[in-house]
Chain A
Amino acid sequence: MLMCHVKGCATDNFPLRIEDAELEQVEVEFNEDFMRRMINKIEWGAFVQTAFALGVDQLPATVPENIDTEFLQRIHRVAMETKLKEGKMICNGCKHVYPVTDGIPNMLLQETEV
Protein backbone atom coordinates (compact mmCIF):
# COMPACT_ATOMS: atom_id res chain seq x y z
CA MET A 1 0.00 0.00 0.00
CA LEU A 2 3.05 2.25 0.21
CA MET A 3 4.48 3.99 -2.81
CA CYS A 4 7.27 6.42 -3.56
CA HIS A 5 6.20 10.01 -3.07
CA VAL A 6 9.35 11.87 -3.99
CA LYS A 7 8.21 15.00 -5.80
CA GLY A 8 8.10 14.46 -9.53
CA CYS A 9 8.61 10.71 -9.23
CA ALA A 10 5.56 9.43 -11.07
CA THR A 11 6.58 6.44 -13.15
CA ASP A 12 7.60 3.08 -11.76
CA ASN A 13 7.05 4.36 -8.23
CA PHE A 14 4.91 1.37 -7.23
CA PRO A 15 5.38 -1.27 -6.01
CA LEU A 16 8.57 -0.59 -4.12
CA ARG A 17 11.21 -3.26 -4.65
CA ILE A 18 12.28 -4.97 -1.45
CA GLU A 19 15.92 -5.85 -0.76
CA ASP A 20 17.87 -7.41 2.10
CA ALA A 21 14.57 -8.54 3.53
CA GLU A 22 14.30 -10.15 6.92
CA LEU A 23 10.75 -11.37 7.30
CA GLU A 24 8.81 -12.20 10.39
CA GLN A 25 5.70 -14.31 10.69
CA VAL A 26 3.19 -12.71 13.07
CA GLU A 27 -0.29 -13.71 14.15
CA VAL A 28 -3.15 -11.46 13.09
CA GLU A 29 -6.83 -12.10 13.74
CA PHE A 30 -8.51 -13.36 10.56
CA ASN A 31 -11.56 -11.48 9.34
CA GLU A 32 -13.12 -12.89 6.22
CA ASP A 33 -15.20 -9.84 5.29
CA PHE A 34 -12.23 -7.57 5.65
CA MET A 35 -10.06 -9.78 3.42
CA ARG A 36 -12.79 -9.93 0.81
CA ARG A 37 -12.95 -6.12 0.73
CA MET A 38 -9.16 -5.82 0.65
CA ILE A 39 -8.74 -8.05 -2.37
CA ASN A 40 -10.52 -5.43 -4.43
CA LYS A 41 -8.24 -2.71 -3.13
CA ILE A 42 -4.93 -4.48 -3.46
CA GLU A 43 -3.12 -3.80 -6.72
CA TRP A 44 -3.12 -7.54 -7.46
CA GLY A 45 -0.19 -7.66 -9.90
CA ALA A 46 2.05 -5.72 -7.54
CA PHE A 47 1.01 -7.90 -4.63
CA VAL A 48 1.72 -11.16 -6.44
CA GLN A 49 5.06 -9.82 -7.66
CA THR A 50 6.15 -8.77 -4.17
CA ALA A 51 5.04 -12.02 -2.52
CA PHE A 52 6.93 -13.98 -5.17
CA ALA A 53 10.11 -11.91 -4.92
CA LEU A 54 10.14 -12.43 -1.16
CA GLY A 55 9.58 -16.15 -1.58
CA VAL A 56 6.45 -16.01 0.56
CA ASP A 57 3.90 -17.55 -1.77
CA GLN A 58 3.29 -18.19 -5.44
CA LEU A 59 -0.10 -16.66 -6.07
CA PRO A 60 -2.21 -16.88 -9.25
CA ALA A 61 -1.59 -14.06 -11.71
CA THR A 62 -5.23 -13.00 -11.62
CA VAL A 63 -7.74 -13.05 -8.80
CA PRO A 64 -9.70 -16.33 -9.03
CA GLU A 65 -13.37 -16.20 -10.06
CA ASN A 66 -14.68 -17.87 -6.96
CA ILE A 67 -12.96 -16.74 -3.82
CA ASP A 68 -13.44 -19.20 -0.97
CA THR A 69 -12.47 -18.90 2.68
CA GLU A 70 -9.37 -20.96 2.16
CA PHE A 71 -8.07 -18.58 -0.48
CA LEU A 72 -8.82 -15.59 1.75
CA GLN A 73 -6.88 -17.24 4.56
CA ARG A 74 -3.95 -17.67 2.22
CA ILE A 75 -4.04 -13.99 1.28
CA HIS A 76 -4.39 -13.13 4.95
CA ARG A 77 -1.19 -15.04 5.69
CA VAL A 78 0.72 -13.13 3.02
CA ALA A 79 -0.78 -9.67 3.37
CA MET A 80 -1.44 -9.47 7.09
CA GLU A 81 0.85 -11.96 8.80
CA THR A 82 4.09 -11.57 6.86
CA LYS A 83 5.92 -8.58 8.22
CA LEU A 84 9.03 -6.97 6.80
CA LYS A 85 11.16 -6.76 9.91
CA GLU A 86 14.34 -5.37 8.41
CA GLY A 87 15.25 -4.39 4.89
CA LYS A 88 15.02 -1.72 2.24
CA MET A 89 12.17 -0.67 0.02
CA ILE A 90 13.54 0.85 -3.14
CA CYS A 91 11.75 2.97 -5.72
CA ASN A 92 12.35 1.61 -9.22
CA GLY A 93 11.68 5.07 -10.60
CA CYS A 94 13.96 7.42 -8.67
CA LYS A 95 16.00 4.91 -6.62
CA HIS A 96 15.05 6.45 -3.27
CA VAL A 97 15.73 3.87 -0.55
CA TYR A 98 13.21 3.60 2.27
CA PRO A 99 14.77 1.67 5.15
CA VAL A 100 12.74 -0.62 7.41
CA THR A 101 13.98 -1.19 10.95
CA ASP A 102 12.19 -3.15 13.67
CA GLY A 103 9.25 -3.54 11.32
CA ILE A 104 8.80 0.23 10.97
CA PRO A 105 9.26 1.66 7.46
CA ASN A 106 10.88 5.07 7.40
CA MET A 107 9.03 6.92 4.64
CA LEU A 108 10.48 10.35 5.38
CA LEU A 109 11.85 12.21 2.39
CA GLN A 110 14.75 14.61 2.41
CA GLU A 111 13.85 18.29 2.37
CA THR A 112 15.12 18.51 -1.21
CA GLU A 113 12.70 15.79 -2.34
CA VAL A 114 9.40 17.38 -1.38
Chain B
Amino acid sequence: MKSAADAKKLLNRSILIKEVIELRFHWRKYHTPYLKTSFKFNVTAFGSSLTIPQQVERIERFSFLPYDGDIDLKNPDVVFSLYEDYNDFPNQGLPVPDAPIRLFWGPFVAESSRALIQQYDLKKRGYLGTTSMDAELSLIMSNVALARPGSLVLDPFVGTGSFLVTSSHFGAYTIGSDIDGRQIRGKGNGKSIESNAKQYSLEDRILGTVVCDIAHHPWRDCELWDAIVCDPPYGVRAGAKKIAVNPKAPPKTSIYNRDGGYKLPQCVPYELDDVMADLISFAAKFLVPGGRLVYWLPTLTDSYSPKDVPRHKRLRLLDNCEQSFNKWARRMIIMEKLKADEPDLDLDALLIEIEKGMQTKVALDEKDMKVQGDGLVTLIDNPAHAGFRKGYFKE
Protein backbone atom coordinates (compact mmCIF):
# COMPACT_ATOMS: atom_id res chain seq x y z
CA MET B 1 0.00 0.00 0.00
CA LYS B 2 1.38 3.33 -1.03
CA SER B 3 -0.25 5.59 1.52
CA ALA B 4 -2.47 5.73 4.57
CA ALA B 5 -5.24 6.96 2.29
CA ASP B 6 -4.95 3.80 0.16
CA ALA B 7 -5.08 1.68 3.27
CA LYS B 8 -8.21 3.44 4.48
CA LYS B 9 -9.91 3.02 1.11
CA LEU B 10 -9.10 -0.66 0.93
CA LEU B 11 -10.12 -1.41 4.48
CA ASN B 12 -13.41 0.32 3.94
CA ARG B 13 -14.32 -2.71 1.79
CA SER B 14 -12.63 -5.36 3.87
CA ILE B 15 -14.33 -7.74 6.24
CA LEU B 16 -11.56 -10.22 6.98
CA ILE B 17 -8.68 -7.86 7.76
CA LYS B 18 -8.75 -6.39 11.23
CA GLU B 19 -6.69 -3.25 10.89
CA VAL B 20 -3.58 -1.87 9.27
CA ILE B 21 -0.71 -0.55 11.31
CA GLU B 22 2.50 0.99 10.14
CA LEU B 23 5.47 -1.24 10.87
CA ARG B 24 8.44 0.65 12.26
CA PHE B 25 11.68 -1.21 12.06
CA HIS B 26 14.26 1.51 12.56
CA TRP B 27 14.21 2.56 16.16
CA ARG B 28 15.62 5.96 15.37
CA LYS B 29 12.76 6.64 13.03
CA TYR B 30 9.95 5.55 15.26
CA HIS B 31 10.66 8.20 17.83
CA THR B 32 10.60 11.28 15.74
CA PRO B 33 6.96 12.14 14.94
CA TYR B 34 5.66 11.08 18.34
CA LEU B 35 7.83 12.88 20.87
CA LYS B 36 5.10 15.27 22.02
CA THR B 37 1.87 13.70 20.74
CA SER B 38 -0.74 12.22 23.08
CA PHE B 39 -1.02 8.48 22.68
CA LYS B 40 -2.49 5.23 23.87
CA PHE B 41 -1.70 1.54 23.38
CA ASN B 42 -3.89 -1.32 22.17
CA VAL B 43 -2.76 -4.84 22.84
CA THR B 44 -4.24 -7.77 20.92
CA ALA B 45 -3.39 -11.45 20.94
CA PHE B 46 -4.20 -13.86 18.11
CA GLY B 47 -4.67 -17.46 19.15
CA SER B 48 -4.66 -16.63 22.85
CA SER B 49 -6.04 -14.01 25.20
CA LEU B 50 -4.44 -11.56 27.60
CA THR B 51 -5.81 -10.38 30.93
CA ILE B 52 -5.82 -6.65 31.69
CA PRO B 53 -2.76 -6.93 34.01
CA GLN B 54 -0.93 -8.85 31.27
CA GLN B 55 -1.80 -6.12 28.79
CA VAL B 56 -0.56 -3.43 31.15
CA GLU B 57 2.64 -5.38 31.63
CA ARG B 58 3.15 -5.49 27.85
CA ILE B 59 2.54 -1.75 27.55
CA GLU B 60 5.03 -1.00 30.29
CA ARG B 61 7.76 -2.73 28.36
CA PHE B 62 7.59 0.27 26.05
CA SER B 63 8.32 2.77 28.80
CA PHE B 64 11.86 3.16 27.46
CA LEU B 65 10.45 5.14 24.53
CA PRO B 66 11.21 8.82 24.92
CA TYR B 67 7.58 9.87 24.41
CA ASP B 68 6.69 12.87 26.51
CA GLY B 69 3.14 13.35 25.21
CA ASP B 70 0.18 12.62 27.47
CA ILE B 71 -1.49 9.28 27.65
CA ASP B 72 -5.00 9.86 26.39
CA LEU B 73 -7.36 6.91 26.26
CA LYS B 74 -10.26 8.80 24.69
CA ASN B 75 -8.81 11.02 22.01
CA PRO B 76 -5.16 10.24 21.49
CA ASP B 77 -3.23 11.76 18.60
CA VAL B 78 -1.78 8.36 17.89
CA VAL B 79 -2.67 4.78 18.82
CA PHE B 80 0.09 2.21 19.01
CA SER B 81 -1.05 -1.31 18.27
CA LEU B 82 0.82 -4.27 19.63
CA TYR B 83 -0.01 -7.68 18.21
CA GLU B 84 1.09 -10.94 19.72
CA ASP B 85 0.64 -13.90 17.40
CA TYR B 86 0.29 -17.28 19.13
CA ASN B 87 -0.62 -19.08 15.88
CA ASP B 88 -3.60 -21.41 15.81
CA PHE B 89 -1.96 -24.38 17.51
CA PRO B 90 -5.14 -25.42 19.39
CA ASN B 91 -6.86 -25.96 16.03
CA GLN B 92 -4.06 -28.36 15.18
CA GLY B 93 -4.49 -30.13 18.50
CA LEU B 94 -1.43 -28.49 20.08
CA PRO B 95 -1.24 -26.41 23.25
CA VAL B 96 -1.09 -22.61 23.15
CA PRO B 97 2.61 -21.64 23.42
CA ASP B 98 3.78 -19.65 26.46
CA ALA B 99 5.22 -16.90 24.36
CA PRO B 100 3.98 -15.47 21.08
CA ILE B 101 5.73 -16.68 17.95
CA ARG B 102 5.66 -13.20 16.40
CA LEU B 103 5.20 -9.62 17.56
CA PHE B 104 4.05 -6.62 15.58
CA TRP B 105 4.14 -3.10 16.84
CA GLY B 106 3.41 0.21 15.16
CA PRO B 107 1.19 3.25 14.90
CA PHE B 108 -2.37 2.46 13.88
CA VAL B 109 -3.32 3.51 10.35
CA ALA B 110 -6.79 2.28 9.45
CA GLU B 111 -9.52 0.04 10.72
CA SER B 112 -11.45 -2.39 8.51
CA SER B 113 -15.17 -2.85 8.21
CA ARG B 114 -15.23 -5.82 10.59
CA ALA B 115 -17.66 -3.89 12.78
CA LEU B 116 -20.27 -4.55 10.08
CA ILE B 117 -20.37 -8.15 11.28
CA GLN B 118 -21.84 -6.87 14.53
CA GLN B 119 -24.08 -4.35 12.79
CA TYR B 120 -25.69 -7.10 10.67
CA ASP B 121 -25.48 -9.85 13.27
CA LEU B 122 -28.36 -12.30 12.84
CA LYS B 123 -29.04 -12.23 16.58
CA LYS B 124 -30.13 -8.64 16.21
CA ARG B 125 -32.11 -9.10 12.99
CA GLY B 126 -35.90 -8.95 13.16
CA TYR B 127 -36.79 -11.46 10.46
CA LEU B 128 -34.88 -14.72 10.26
CA GLY B 129 -35.32 -18.19 8.79
CA THR B 130 -33.59 -21.52 9.33
CA THR B 131 -31.22 -20.85 6.43
CA SER B 132 -30.52 -17.13 6.90
CA MET B 133 -26.89 -16.53 5.98
CA ASP B 134 -24.45 -15.49 8.65
CA ALA B 135 -23.56 -11.78 8.51
CA GLU B 136 -19.81 -12.19 7.96
CA LEU B 137 -20.22 -14.56 5.01
CA SER B 138 -23.02 -12.46 3.51
CA LEU B 139 -20.83 -9.38 3.71
CA ILE B 140 -17.91 -11.18 2.12
CA MET B 141 -20.09 -12.49 -0.70
CA SER B 142 -21.63 -9.11 -1.47
CA ASN B 143 -18.15 -7.65 -1.31
CA VAL B 144 -16.61 -10.07 -3.81
CA ALA B 145 -19.69 -9.69 -6.01
CA LEU B 146 -18.63 -6.02 -6.24
CA ALA B 147 -21.97 -4.74 -4.95
CA ARG B 148 -21.69 -0.96 -5.14
CA PRO B 149 -23.75 2.19 -5.75
CA GLY B 150 -25.50 2.01 -9.10
CA SER B 151 -25.22 -1.77 -9.47
CA LEU B 152 -28.20 -4.12 -9.61
CA VAL B 153 -27.98 -7.38 -7.67
CA LEU B 154 -30.32 -10.39 -7.78
CA ASP B 155 -30.73 -13.21 -5.29
CA PRO B 156 -32.89 -15.83 -7.06
CA PHE B 157 -33.15 -17.95 -3.86
CA VAL B 158 -33.78 -15.00 -1.61
CA GLY B 159 -35.34 -16.71 1.44
CA THR B 160 -35.23 -14.12 4.21
CA GLY B 161 -33.07 -11.78 2.16
CA SER B 162 -29.64 -11.86 3.84
CA PHE B 163 -27.85 -11.00 0.59
CA LEU B 164 -30.22 -8.16 -0.22
CA VAL B 165 -29.31 -6.54 3.08
CA THR B 166 -25.54 -6.84 2.71
CA SER B 167 -25.45 -5.99 -1.01
CA SER B 168 -27.58 -2.91 -0.44
CA HIS B 169 -25.34 -1.99 2.47
CA PHE B 170 -22.56 -1.61 -0.08
CA GLY B 171 -24.82 0.64 -2.12
CA ALA B 172 -26.39 -1.75 -4.64
CA TYR B 173 -30.01 -1.86 -5.70
CA THR B 174 -31.27 -5.34 -4.91
CA ILE B 175 -34.11 -7.62 -5.99
CA GLY B 176 -34.89 -11.07 -4.66
CA SER B 177 -37.03 -13.95 -5.81
CA ASP B 178 -38.04 -17.25 -4.26
CA ILE B 179 -40.43 -20.05 -5.15
CA ASP B 180 -41.85 -19.80 -1.65
CA GLY B 181 -43.76 -16.56 -1.03
CA ARG B 182 -44.00 -17.36 2.67
CA GLN B 183 -40.24 -16.95 2.96
CA ILE B 184 -40.46 -13.44 1.54
CA ARG B 185 -43.57 -12.36 3.45
CA GLY B 186 -42.91 -14.10 6.73
CA LYS B 187 -45.69 -15.38 8.94
CA GLY B 188 -47.81 -12.25 8.96
CA ASN B 189 -46.42 -11.01 12.27
CA GLY B 190 -44.91 -7.92 10.71
CA LYS B 191 -41.56 -9.65 10.22
CA SER B 192 -40.51 -10.03 6.60
CA ILE B 193 -37.84 -9.05 4.10
CA GLU B 194 -39.55 -5.67 4.04
CA SER B 195 -39.23 -5.22 7.81
CA ASN B 196 -35.53 -6.15 7.62
CA ALA B 197 -35.07 -3.48 4.95
CA LYS B 198 -36.67 -0.98 7.32
CA GLN B 199 -34.61 -2.14 10.29
CA TYR B 200 -31.40 -1.32 8.44
CA SER B 201 -32.80 1.77 6.67
CA LEU B 202 -32.16 0.16 3.30
CA GLU B 203 -35.67 0.56 1.86
CA ASP B 204 -34.36 3.05 -0.64
CA ARG B 205 -32.08 0.39 -2.19
CA ILE B 206 -33.84 -2.94 -1.62
CA LEU B 207 -36.21 -2.56 -4.54
CA GLY B 208 -38.48 -5.54 -4.07
CA THR B 209 -39.18 -9.22 -4.38
CA VAL B 210 -40.94 -11.56 -6.77
CA VAL B 211 -42.33 -15.05 -6.19
CA CYS B 212 -41.04 -17.31 -8.95
CA ASP B 213 -39.33 -20.59 -9.70
CA ILE B 214 -35.81 -20.19 -11.11
CA ALA B 215 -36.52 -23.16 -13.37
CA HIS B 216 -39.46 -21.25 -14.96
CA HIS B 217 -38.69 -17.60 -14.42
CA PRO B 218 -40.27 -14.51 -15.95
CA TRP B 219 -37.25 -12.26 -16.59
CA ARG B 220 -37.22 -10.74 -20.05
CA ASP B 221 -34.12 -11.62 -22.11
CA CYS B 222 -31.65 -8.89 -21.27
CA GLU B 223 -28.22 -8.53 -19.70
CA LEU B 224 -29.67 -6.94 -16.62
CA TRP B 225 -27.87 -7.94 -13.44
CA ASP B 226 -24.48 -6.64 -12.33
CA ALA B 227 -24.26 -9.50 -9.86
CA ILE B 228 -26.12 -12.59 -8.75
CA VAL B 229 -25.48 -13.58 -5.14
CA CYS B 230 -27.18 -16.59 -3.63
CA ASP B 231 -27.25 -19.69 -1.49
CA PRO B 232 -29.05 -22.31 -3.56
CA PRO B 233 -31.33 -24.80 -1.77
CA TYR B 234 -29.25 -27.84 -0.75
CA GLY B 235 -32.05 -29.92 0.46
CA VAL B 236 -30.51 -30.57 3.85
CA ARG B 237 -33.14 -28.66 5.77
CA ALA B 238 -35.72 -28.06 3.05
CA GLY B 239 -35.50 -29.82 -0.27
CA ALA B 240 -35.35 -27.82 -3.47
CA LYS B 241 -38.39 -28.14 -5.64
CA LYS B 242 -39.57 -26.92 -8.97
CA ILE B 243 -42.92 -26.62 -10.66
CA ALA B 244 -43.98 -29.70 -12.62
CA VAL B 245 -46.84 -32.16 -12.73
CA ASN B 246 -46.30 -34.41 -9.76
CA PRO B 247 -47.30 -37.91 -10.81
CA LYS B 248 -47.85 -38.88 -7.18
CA ALA B 249 -50.39 -36.12 -6.52
CA PRO B 250 -53.97 -36.27 -7.80
CA PRO B 251 -54.66 -33.85 -10.67
CA LYS B 252 -56.41 -30.65 -9.59
CA THR B 253 -60.09 -30.17 -10.28
CA SER B 254 -59.57 -26.41 -10.29
CA ILE B 255 -56.52 -24.18 -10.20
CA TYR B 256 -58.37 -21.65 -8.03
CA ASN B 257 -58.95 -21.49 -4.32
CA ARG B 258 -62.35 -20.57 -2.98
CA ASP B 259 -61.19 -16.98 -2.50
CA GLY B 260 -60.42 -16.77 -6.21
CA GLY B 261 -56.63 -16.88 -5.78
CA TYR B 262 -54.46 -19.50 -7.42
CA LYS B 263 -53.72 -22.77 -5.73
CA LEU B 264 -50.04 -23.47 -5.30
CA PRO B 265 -48.65 -25.34 -8.28
CA GLN B 266 -47.58 -28.96 -7.92
CA CYS B 267 -43.86 -29.44 -7.52
CA VAL B 268 -41.32 -32.20 -7.93
CA PRO B 269 -37.88 -32.51 -6.31
CA TYR B 270 -35.23 -30.36 -7.96
CA GLU B 271 -31.94 -32.24 -8.00
CA LEU B 272 -28.95 -30.24 -6.86
CA ASP B 273 -26.96 -30.68 -10.06
CA ASP B 274 -29.97 -29.35 -12.00
CA VAL B 275 -30.31 -26.39 -9.65
CA MET B 276 -26.63 -25.55 -10.17
CA ALA B 277 -26.76 -26.06 -13.94
CA ASP B 278 -29.84 -23.82 -14.24
CA LEU B 279 -28.24 -21.17 -12.04
CA ILE B 280 -25.04 -21.06 -14.10
CA SER B 281 -26.90 -20.94 -17.41
CA PHE B 282 -29.12 -18.19 -16.02
CA ALA B 283 -26.10 -16.17 -14.89
CA ALA B 284 -24.30 -16.60 -18.21
CA LYS B 285 -27.30 -15.19 -20.00
CA PHE B 286 -28.62 -12.48 -17.70
CA LEU B 287 -25.49 -10.98 -16.11
CA VAL B 288 -24.04 -7.85 -17.68
CA PRO B 289 -20.64 -8.42 -19.30
CA GLY B 290 -18.11 -8.34 -16.46
CA GLY B 291 -20.87 -9.10 -13.94
CA ARG B 292 -20.31 -11.66 -11.20
CA LEU B 293 -22.00 -14.78 -9.92
CA VAL B 294 -21.24 -15.68 -6.30
CA TYR B 295 -22.88 -18.80 -4.87
CA TRP B 296 -22.41 -21.76 -2.54
CA LEU B 297 -21.84 -25.25 -3.91
CA PRO B 298 -22.43 -27.91 -1.26
CA THR B 299 -20.21 -30.97 -1.48
CA LEU B 300 -19.53 -34.20 0.36
CA THR B 301 -15.92 -34.13 1.45
CA ASP B 302 -15.17 -37.76 0.56
CA SER B 303 -16.45 -37.65 -2.96
CA TYR B 304 -15.70 -34.06 -4.00
CA SER B 305 -13.55 -33.54 -7.06
CA PRO B 306 -12.75 -30.21 -8.75
CA LYS B 307 -14.46 -31.65 -11.82
CA ASP B 308 -17.76 -31.28 -10.01
CA VAL B 309 -17.75 -27.51 -10.24
CA PRO B 310 -19.89 -26.58 -13.23
CA ARG B 311 -18.22 -24.31 -15.79
CA HIS B 312 -19.45 -22.12 -18.57
CA LYS B 313 -17.81 -20.81 -21.73
CA ARG B 314 -18.93 -17.28 -20.91
CA LEU B 315 -18.02 -17.37 -17.22
CA ARG B 316 -14.47 -17.23 -15.93
CA LEU B 317 -13.93 -19.03 -12.64
CA LEU B 318 -12.27 -16.57 -10.25
CA ASP B 319 -12.24 -18.53 -7.03
CA ASN B 320 -13.40 -21.64 -5.25
CA CYS B 321 -13.13 -21.34 -1.49
CA GLU B 322 -14.05 -24.18 0.83
CA GLN B 323 -15.80 -23.86 4.17
CA SER B 324 -15.45 -27.26 5.73
CA PHE B 325 -17.87 -28.93 8.13
CA ASN B 326 -15.85 -32.15 8.13
CA LYS B 327 -18.08 -34.66 6.35
CA TRP B 328 -19.56 -32.05 4.10
CA ALA B 329 -18.44 -28.66 2.96
CA ARG B 330 -19.69 -25.81 0.94
CA ARG B 331 -17.66 -23.93 -1.58
CA MET B 332 -18.01 -20.27 -2.33
CA ILE B 333 -17.74 -20.10 -6.10
CA ILE B 334 -17.00 -16.78 -7.77
CA MET B 335 -17.42 -16.43 -11.52
CA GLU B 336 -17.18 -13.44 -13.81
CA LYS B 337 -18.97 -13.09 -17.13
CA LEU B 338 -16.69 -12.37 -20.08
CA LYS B 339 -16.75 -9.01 -21.80
CA ALA B 340 -18.75 -8.90 -25.02
CA ASP B 341 -15.63 -8.77 -27.19
CA GLU B 342 -13.84 -11.65 -25.44
CA PRO B 343 -13.96 -14.99 -27.26
CA ASP B 344 -15.53 -17.99 -25.50
CA LEU B 345 -13.21 -19.73 -23.06
CA ASP B 346 -11.42 -22.61 -24.69
CA LEU B 347 -11.15 -25.98 -23.01
CA ASP B 348 -7.78 -25.23 -21.47
CA ALA B 349 -9.15 -22.17 -19.78
CA LEU B 350 -12.38 -23.90 -18.81
CA LEU B 351 -10.77 -26.84 -17.14
CA ILE B 352 -8.46 -24.87 -14.90
CA GLU B 353 -8.72 -25.65 -11.23
CA ILE B 354 -8.66 -22.94 -8.61
CA GLU B 355 -8.54 -23.50 -4.89
CA LYS B 356 -8.65 -20.58 -2.46
CA GLY B 357 -7.30 -18.10 -4.96
CA MET B 358 -4.48 -20.34 -6.16
CA GLN B 359 -4.61 -21.53 -9.72
CA THR B 360 -3.02 -24.91 -9.29
CA LYS B 361 -3.18 -27.03 -12.39
CA VAL B 362 -5.29 -28.10 -15.29
CA ALA B 363 -6.96 -30.88 -13.42
CA LEU B 364 -9.81 -31.75 -15.66
CA ASP B 365 -10.07 -33.82 -18.72
CA GLU B 366 -12.04 -32.86 -21.76
CA LYS B 367 -13.31 -36.42 -22.13
CA ASP B 368 -15.10 -36.22 -18.80
CA MET B 369 -17.06 -33.12 -19.63
CA LYS B 370 -20.13 -32.42 -21.68
CA VAL B 371 -20.64 -29.05 -23.30
CA GLN B 372 -24.19 -27.86 -23.71
CA GLY B 373 -25.62 -25.63 -26.41
CA ASP B 374 -25.52 -22.45 -24.35
CA GLY B 375 -21.92 -23.07 -23.26
CA LEU B 376 -22.59 -24.80 -19.94
CA VAL B 377 -19.90 -27.38 -19.20
CA THR B 378 -20.61 -30.15 -16.72
CA LEU B 379 -19.33 -33.56 -15.84
CA ILE B 380 -20.67 -36.39 -18.01
CA ASP B 381 -20.94 -38.65 -15.00
CA ASN B 382 -23.04 -37.11 -12.30
CA PRO B 383 -21.03 -34.71 -10.20
CA ALA B 384 -20.75 -35.74 -6.58
CA HIS B 385 -23.12 -33.03 -5.40
CA ALA B 386 -25.91 -34.57 -7.51
CA GLY B 387 -26.32 -37.09 -4.73
CA PHE B 388 -25.74 -34.55 -1.99
CA ARG B 389 -29.03 -35.04 -0.20
CA LYS B 390 -28.79 -38.81 -0.22
CA GLY B 391 -25.13 -38.73 0.75
CA TYR B 392 -25.75 -36.29 3.55
CA PHE B 393 -28.49 -38.29 5.17
CA LYS B 394 -26.56 -41.52 4.89
CA GLU B 395 -24.09 -40.18 7.46
Measured in the bound complex, the distance between the Cα atoms of B203 and A42 in whole Å is 23
C-alpha gap A41/B263 in the complex (Å): 34
**Do B220 and A108 touch (CB < 8 A)?**
no
What is the minimal beta-carbon distance from A33 to any residue of chain B, in angstroms? 5
Question: What string of 1s and 0s marks CB contacts (under 8 Å) between B196-230 and chain A?
Answer: 00000001110111111101111110111000000
Contact partners of B265 in chain A: CB under 8 A: 108-111, 114
A107 touches B152 (CB 8 A): no
Q: Which residue of A has the minimal Cβ distance to B222?
A: A41
State the Cβ distance, A92 to closest chain B Cβ, in Å: 15
B261 touches A83 (CB 8 A): no
Interface stretch among A50-58, A62-70, A96-104? Answer: A96-104
Instruction: Report yes or no: A102 in contact with B204, Cβ–Cβ below 8 A.
Output: no
Residues of chain B with a CB closer than 8 A to A102's CB = 185, 194
Does B181 reach chain A (CB closer than 8 Å)? yes
Interface size class of B (residues with CB under 8 A): 35 or more
Within the complex, the shortest CB–CB distance from A70 to chain B, in Å, comes to 18
For the complex of A and B, 4 pairs with smallest distance between CB atoms: A107-B212, A111-B266, A34-B150, A31-B150
B245 interface neighbour in A43, A83, A104, A111, Cβ under 8 Å: A111
Contacts of B223 in A (CB 8 A): 41
When the two chains form the complex, which single residue of B173, B209, B266 contacts A34, counting CB atoms closer than 8 Å? Answer: B173
Interface size on A, residues (CB 8 A): 32
- Tell me, yes or no, whether A112 is within 8 Å of chain B by CB: yes
Contact in complex: A111, B216 (CB < 8 Å): no
Q: Give the CA-CA distance A98 to B224 in the complex, in Å.
A: 22
Name the residue of chain A whose CB is nearest to the CB of B177.
A107
Q: Is B149 an interface residue (CB 8 A)?
A: yes
> Is the pair B222, A106 in contact by a Cβ cutoff of 8 Å?
no
Inter-subunit contact A83/B208 (CB<8 Å): yes
* A1–B184 CA distance with the chains assembled, in angstroms: 20
Chain A residues, CB < 8 A from B244? 111, 114
Evaluate whether A112 and B207 lie within 8 angstroms (CB atoms) in the complex, with A5-B218, A34-B150, A106-B181 already known.
Answer: no
Of chain B, the residue at the smallest CB distance from A80 is: B207
Residues of chain A lying within 8 A (CB to CB) of residue B213: 108-109
A106 and B220 form a contact (CB under 8 A): no
Known contacts A80-B173, A83-B208, A107-B212; can you find 6 more A-B pairs with CB under 8 A?
A4-B218, A14-B220, A28-B205, A33-B150, A111-B246, A114-B216
Contacts of B149 in A (CB 8 A): 29, 31
A26: chain B residues at CB < 8 Å are 203-204
Answer whether residue B122 sits at the interface, using C-beta atoms and an 8 A cutoff. no
